[in-house]
Structure 1
Amino acid sequence: MKGLLLLPLLWASAAHGAAPQPAAALYQQHCESCHGATRLGAAGPALLPESLGRIKPDEVRKVIANGRPASQMAGFAGTLSTPQIDALADYLQQPPATPPTWNDHDIRASHRLLADLSTLPSTPQHHADPLNLFVVVEAGDHHINILDGDRFTVLDRFASHFAVHGGPKFSPDGRFVYFASRDGWISLYDLHNLKLIAEVRAGLNTRNLAVSKDGRWVLVGNYLPGSLVLLDARDLSLVKTLPATGLDGKTSRVSAVYTAPPRNSFIVALKDVKEVWELSYAGTPNFEPRRIAAQDFLDDFSFSPDYRQLLATSRKAQGGQVIDLDSGNVVTDIPLPGMPHLGSGTYWKRNGDWVFATPNISKGLISVIDFKTWKLIKEIPTLGPGFFMRSHVNSPYAWTDVFFGPDNDAIHLIDKQTLEIAHTLRPMPGKTAAHVEFTRDGRYLLLSIWDTDGALIVYDSKTLREIKRLPMNKPSGKYNVGNKIEFAEGTSH
């Protein structure tokens, strides 16, 4: 079966007149041509447990039965019986008998140049403000939209690889944007010319990527294989692979990678090793990690505004752990009862002092922390657990969703000075509302309705009046070029 796992006695029904078949044989017959003999992906995405981790089993069954709209994925409800579909769905969520590998040779073999940069104009070939463009991830059918942030019109829409994840990142001048998909593909897109330039598969299951402050390097963090992959930002060619191995010899998944501009370095979160890594890209770097010992497994990060201190989720601390990046010492633990996804928090100045606020993914609370003392200032009760929180220096509010609660169609607006809920909006009752991003000047904001029949809704940030509604298929994140390259207050980094 070409290396596939043959599940013992997992036989499909003989309905539709077919002889009983093991699920591996069903895969070989119906799926292999698009998804690869070893399930690593080809024309279709990888079908490994790590790649399907966030997709519920019932959703996997529905896709096998009904296909995916606006994709090459056809439905098999007329070909396979319900027991056959169930068997195939169960099979895809089991690991292959032989663990898949992806090495430097595989990375280099996957590299594709799609356009010759030397022949393209170096100035924008459209009439939109290049620093007020939005990159919008349309997750429902795996597409990217490039949006004019002044007119709120789509300049380009193109297919992405499966499940873009971790947020696109930009070159320092805002010309290029880099995407990472969950099944390891990294893509380079030219926002001046609205054209894909290059792509490479850096891993089999990728978490996210970061771009150096000087625009020279791209660092990719992988779950599978556990590694960091360094790419040349100009064309995505491979520079170096670093196994994510702790001092104790244990291999780790990479939870996330970030760039820390004032430090001229990348910061790396390791999921299975009690270490934080810092990789300097100053001067002529060798990219050997500086290992900072942690007291716990740290899953996700946020930073103080000056990037001197790191706030990481820690189950041992039942919340957050603060690490001083200069000394490498743990400063304090912070109780955060709902285990936040810290990269989705935000910060602002309140009475002249920086505060950090984050929703919590298992409890309906916003935790507000003083950056100077690392003390909890307030817990703001919400309608349910949330995921994303965003603001802008010119907005009086921090916008937060209640993504994981029964009231997930609601959005709270937190007054940044009183720390009270000033408004609660329900943009499309019954449909999940999440993830806000502001225009560069903060005058307008874009909000997502995460539904197949969803929308991108544009609001006036002062009057809260709806300006425009663009129908989209489950728009997830959206990212403003100017806010991102300037590391603007209130947005994600």
Structure 2
Amino acid sequence: MQHFSRLCMLAAALLASSPASAAEPVPAVYARHCASCHGIDRLGGTGPALLPENLERLRKPEALKVIANGRAASQMMAFGDKLSAAEIQALTDFVYTPPASVPVWGLAEIKASRIENFKAGSLPDTPAFKADLLNLFVVVETGDHHATLLDGDSFKPIHRFQTRFALHGGPKFTPDGRYVYFASRDGWIAKFDIWNLKITHEIRAGINTRNLAVSGDGRYVIVGNYLPQTLVVLDAADLTPLKLIEAKDDTGKRSRVSAVYDAAPRKSFIAALKDVKEVWEIPYTDEHEPIFPGLVHDFRMAEALADKGPFPVRRIPLDDYLDDFYFDQPYQHLMGASREGGKGQVVNLDARIKVADLDIPGMPHLGSGITWDYQGRPVMATPNLKSGVISIIDMKNWKVIKRVETLGSGFFMRSHENTPYAWTDNFMSPAKDTLTIIDKRTLEVARNLTPEPGKTAAHVEFTRDGRYALVSIWEMDGALIVYDAATFKEVKRLPMSKPSGKYNVYNKTTRSAGTSH
């Protein structure tokens, strides 16, 4: 009620200048149509926070169109048939007006939120169940905010447990596969001991969180936030906060964090900033260790190494914003694109410069890209959130060698080293109930597969040997369907509550070329 009162006070001033035809006070319109996704206090939920600093790249005229018509490649629905033009205008003015106060969420608040259910190292080092520990799946069920630990050999659930609201960014494993970390949209980070089936620690690292990454040595967790605009480094053992890094450029301009990932071969984290044209590399090695062996004499590297202290930030300037990115297998290059679409860019992380443009129009979902060898050359394939096309890129010269037409725009793409096929969904299209399967040898569509007519099919993941493909029926009365990856025949179907992502321990910890990292 306190949050709602603040909204009413803010709306009073807005209503004085709002069109008289607005039928409801702005807070009531917001509460009825927006709060369930964006939070009653506009701090975010399943949708992002709606505050002026979060809307810098969305101008008011565009915001009016988004409210009226919805937003492609997102869960933002259209309200043009529910709200009058005056209500849409008043609502737009409302979200672009700063609230009376925005909660402070610094190191003191983060530390105070920490929950320790079990001390680090106190639980048994023997698994409480029998299974191939590297062929386990963590399945996120968004329908009722649970996760299921699944045996990848028998396809029987081992354990189902409650998670925080609206997990986002995909769970991440420690290198040995024993622990998995979850991030929720509202900033809660949880550490789960797979062997003992227990949540050991939790902490709230932000108010509106994008995702997290675990260091390749298993020592650190880093969290990227939309609000506040920070990166937070945690001790992976017990989630103790180690450092808070403000996301801003050298002029002081602040930015949301688009994404943060581990680049294990480089012993560093890579973070993209949504509102600043930079990508950051944050080494997590000890100071005496060389960050990039053999490169310390390069003048750019000498400049980068001038930034001392734990978790230093190495800034890489870009030509465009970076919302989404993917690494080549050696982690030398980063391929990125902005949500606005247009050409992507390739950045050499060693030289810290852009080395190529990518001719991938629309809205490529590079974070869901995969790689394989095609005719002796490494290629990368990415789905597109706005176009029914898979772009296949030669990673030697960064040219698009093939555009494979699909049934509609898609979100996820997956494969495995032991299968000749790549599976992609048509998630953003009327054909969302159908998967497109591409032959990696010919770059042609091998077949279209409809697991359940009329129901959304998405997010394929493979067993550790690549023999089986697991598919989500992304509905409240959904299911997890297991297919033979060679014959495309259904093997098993498990009812689940809107299963979204599923994550195989082996494929993730070994950084399989067929899955996102």
TM-score category (smaller protein) = 0.7 to 0.9
1:346 aligns with 2:370: yes
Distance 1:49 1:315 in 2: 18
Aligned residue for 1:172? Answer: 175
Distance 2:47 2:274 in 1: 22
Distance 1:56 1:273 in 2: 24
Q: Secondary structure at the match of 1:8?
A: helix
Distance 1:46 1:451 in 2: 19
Q: Secondary structure at the match of 1:404?
A: coil
Q: Deviations over 1:29-57 (max 9, x none)?
A: xx9xxx9996769xx99995489x96546
Distance 2:363 2:40 in 1: 39
Distance 2:117 2:47 in 1: 22
Structure 1 residue 253: Cα displacement = 0.4
Aligned residue for 1:318? Answer: 342
Aligned residue for 1:304? Answer: 328
Distance 1:377 1:398 in 2: 16
Q: Deviations over 1:363-418 (max 9, x none)?
A: 11100000111111000111111111000000110000111111111101100010
Residue identity in the other structure for 1:278 = E
Q: Percent identity?
A: 56
Match of 1:366 among 377, 384, 390: 390
Aligned residue for 1:63? Answer: none
Structure 1 residue 101: Cα displacement = 2.6
Is the 1:40–1:46 Cα contact (8 Å) retained in structure 2? no
Distance 1:420 1:322 in 2: 26
Aligned residue for 1:416? Answer: 440
Structure 1 residue 317: Cα displacement = 7.8
Match of 2:404 among 380, 386, 389: 380
Q: Secondary structure at the match of 2:7?
A: coil
Aligned residue for 1:105? Answer: 108
Structure 1 residue 248: Cα displacement = 2.1
1:145 aligns with 2:148: yes
Residue identity in the other structure for 1:410 = T
1:8 aligns with 2:12: yes
Aligned residue for 1:133? Answer: 136
Is the 1:384–1:402 Cα contact (8 Å) retained in structure 2? yes
Distance 1:48 1:258 in 2: 22
Q: Secondary structure at the match of 1:445?
A: strand
Distance 1:307 1:181 in 2: 27
1:247 aligns with 2:271: no
Distance 2:228 2:338 in 1: 23
Distance 1:416 1:46 in 2: 35
1:490 aligns with 2:490: no
Q: Deviations over 1:150-187 (max 9, x none)?
A: 11111111111111111100001000000011111100
The alignment of Structure 1 onto Structure 2 pairs a total of residues equal to 452
Distance 2:121 2:352 in 1: 43
TM-score (norm 1): 0.85
Is the 2:46–2:185 Cα contact (8 Å) retained in structure 1? no
Distance 1:211 1:421 in 2: 35
Is the 2:127–2:195 Cα contact (8 Å) retained in structure 1? yes
Cα 1:428–1:113 shift into 2, 3 Å: same
Distance 2:437 2:41 in 1: 47
Structure 1 residue 207: Cα displacement = 0.6
1:216 aligns with 2:219: yes
Structure 1 residue 350: Cα displacement = 1.1
Q: Deviations over 1:44-98 (max 9, x none)?
A: 99995489x9654689xxxxxxxxxxxxxxxxxxxxxxxxxx99xx79x947432
Q: Deviations over 1:457-488 (max 9, x none)?
A: 00111111111111111110000001101101
Cα 1:281–1:471 shift into 2, 3 Å: same
Structure 1 residue 267: Cα displacement = 0.5
Distance 1:434 1:299 in 2: 22
Aligned residue for 1:197? Answer: 200
Residue identity in the other structure for 1:131 = L
Aligned residue for 1:277? Answer: 280
Q: Secondary structure at the match of 2:460?
A: strand
| Structure 1: unaligned runs, 5 residues or longer | 12-19, 60-85
1:154 aligns with 2:178: no
Q: RMSD value over aligned CA atoms? A: 3.1
| Structure 2: unaligned runs, 5 residues or longer | 16-23, 55-70, 80-86, 288-308
Aligned residue for 2:229? Answer: 226
Aligned residue for 2:479? Answer: 455
Q: Secondary structure at the match of 2:344?
A: strand
Is the 2:172–2:213 Cα contact (8 Å) retained in structure 1? yes
Cα 1:342–1:22 shift into 2, 3 Å: closer
Structure 1 residue 234: Cα displacement = 0.4
Distance 1:102 1:366 in 2: 41
Q: Secondary structure at the match of 2:361?
A: coil
Match of 2:261 among 258, 275, 279: 258
Aligned residue for 2:125? Answer: 122
Distance 1:468 1:224 in 2: 41
Match of 1:399 among 410, 418, 423: 423
Cα 1:113–1:430 shift into 2, 3 Å: same
Q: Deviations over 1:219-277 (max 9, x none)?
A: 10000111100000001111110000112210000000011111000001111111110
Distance 2:388 2:448 in 1: 14
Structure 1 residue 117: Cα displacement = 3.8
Q: Secondary structure at the match of 2:206?
A: coil
Match of 2:468 among 444, 454, 457: 444
1:425 aligns with 2:425: no
Cα 1:452–1:277 shift into 2, 3 Å: same
TM-score (norm 2): 0.81
Aligned residue for 2:188? Answer: 185
Q: Secondary structure at the match of 1:298?
A: coil
Structure 1 residue 123: Cα displacement = 2.2
Match of 2:209 among 201, 206, 210: 206
Structure 1 residue 118: Cα displacement = 3.2
Structure 1 residue 100: Cα displacement = 3.2
Is the 1:39–1:46 Cα contact (8 Å) retained in structure 2? no
Cα 1:273–1:131 shift into 2, 3 Å: same
Cα 1:57–1:412 shift into 2, 3 Å: closer
Distance 1:276 1:352 in 2: 31
